[in-house]
Amino acid sequence: MNHITLALSKGRIFDETLPLLKAAGIEVLEDPEKSRKLILPTNQPGVRVVLVRATDVPTYVQYGGADLGVTGLDTLIEHGKDWGGAGSAGLYQPLDLQIAKCRISVAVRADFDYAGVVRQGSRLRVATKYVGIAREFFAAKGVHVDLIKLYGSMELAPLTGLADAIVDLVSTGNTLKANQLVEVERIMDISSRLVVNQASLKLKQQPIRQIIDAFAGAIGKN
Ligand code: AMP
């Protein structure tokens, strides 16, 4: 009953959360890249890690499949928009972990006149995984957009003529550069957040508080 389940996604978030877990005295005992297991034990018998898709972390935590999770602000906001009014109900967001930092930007082919399209009020075809964020951003600018939902390799869309622009995560900018795309707008800065199920926080207050406090103390130390 008092077990704690932490939802993480493989890759950047898992790797960058490990030092924070260590600060909380928690060590994951298996390498997710080598194991096929979806539930990973830790050195603390009462704490386990579940591996889920990045976009599923808010869902797991919101509905109590996990007590805590680490998720990008991009995923969290998009989750809130997908689920309408019930968006983030039950999801407590106590900490900006300042890991997996990047930004959500608009990018186009270097030869595309984005400023001209915006100025003239023409329609813009935008491919993105972040349909909710993109819709709101362009609506606020008064730009008419046709949104095309993609699940990956967004950079291909302007190169193949599928879209005029993309809305995607940018970190170093190397991926855009390698594909002859240029960043024309920064929509928002992104980092990963700790999210906690509100009922869990009440029912398992002591162990969860301990983890939140240890994470808080370790932020920015790596
Ligand atoms: P970069 O080439 O460093 O600008 O990285 C851009 C590529 O990495 C894009 O395909 C992004 O979707 C992905 N990316 C960058 N930062 C993150 C992040 N914090 N979390 C997940 N994916 C990211």
Q: Which residue lies with its CA nearest to atom 5 of ligand 1? A: 171
Ligand 1: does its nearest atom lie under 6 Å from the Cβ of 100? Answer: yes
Question: CA-to-CA distance for 98 and 220, rounded, in angstroms?
Answer: 7
Ligand 1: does its nearest atom lie under 6 Å from the Cβ of 72? Answer: yes
Domains of the chain: 4-100+191-218 (3.40.190.10), 102-189 (3.40.190.10)
State the pLDDT at residue 81: 85
pLDDT confidence tier of residue 90, bands split at 50, 70 and 90: confident
Give distance in angstroms: CA of 103 to centre of ligand 1.
Answer: 9
State the pLDDT at residue 84: 59
Give distance in angstroms: CA of 148 to centre of ligand 1.
Answer: 20
Q: Inform me whether the pLDDT recorded for 52 exceeds 60.
A: yes
Q: Inform me whether the pLDDT recorded for 59 exceeds 60.
A: yes
State the pLDDT at residue 87: 67
The pLDDT tens digits of the residues spanning 127-179 come to 999 999 999 999 999 999 999 999 999 999 999 999 999 999 999 999 999 99
Question: CA-to-CA distance for 16 and 78, rounded, in angstroms?
Answer: 22
Q: Inform me whether the pLDDT recorded for 222 exceeds 90.
A: no
Q: In ligand 1, which atom is closest to the CA atom of 175?
A: 2
State the pLDDT at residue 85: 56
Which DSSP string do the residues of the chain spell out, in sequence order? ---EEEEE-TTHHHHHHHHHHHHTT--B-S-TTT---SEEEBSSTTEEEEE--GGGHHHHHHTTSSSEEEEEHHHHHHHHHHTGGGTTTTEEEEEE---S-EEEEEEEETT--HHHHHHHT--EEEEES-HHHHHHHHHHHT--EEEEE-SS-TTHHHHHTS-SEEEEEESSSHHHHHTTEEEEEEEEEE-EEEEEEHHHHHHTHHHHHHHHHHHHHHTT--
Task: Give the residues across from 72 on adjacent strands.
Answer: 192
Report the pLDDT averaged over residues 60-70.
97
Q: Inform me whether the pLDDT recorded for 189 exceeds 70.
A: yes
Q: In ligand 1, which atom is closest to the CA atom of 177?
A: 2
CB 212 within 8 A of CB 196: yes
Ligand 1: does its nearest atom lie under 6 Å from the Cβ of 55? Answer: no
State the pLDDT at residue 161: 97
For strand 145-149 and strand 124-128, is the pairing parallel, antiparallel, or unpaired?
A: parallel
Give distance in angstroms: CA of 145 to centre of ligand 1.
Answer: 24
Ligand 1: does its nearest atom lie under 6 Å from the Cβ of 98? Answer: no
Question: CA-to-CA distance for 207 and 33, rounded, in angstroms?
Answer: 28
State the pLDDT at residue 82: 75
Q: What is the chain's mean pLDDT, rounded?
A: 95
State the pLDDT at residue 83: 65
Q: In ligand 1, which atom is closest to the CA atom of 190?
A: 19
Q: Which residue lies with its CA nearest to atom 23 of ligand 1? A: 169
Q: Which residue lies with its CA nearest to atom 12 of ligand 1? A: 169
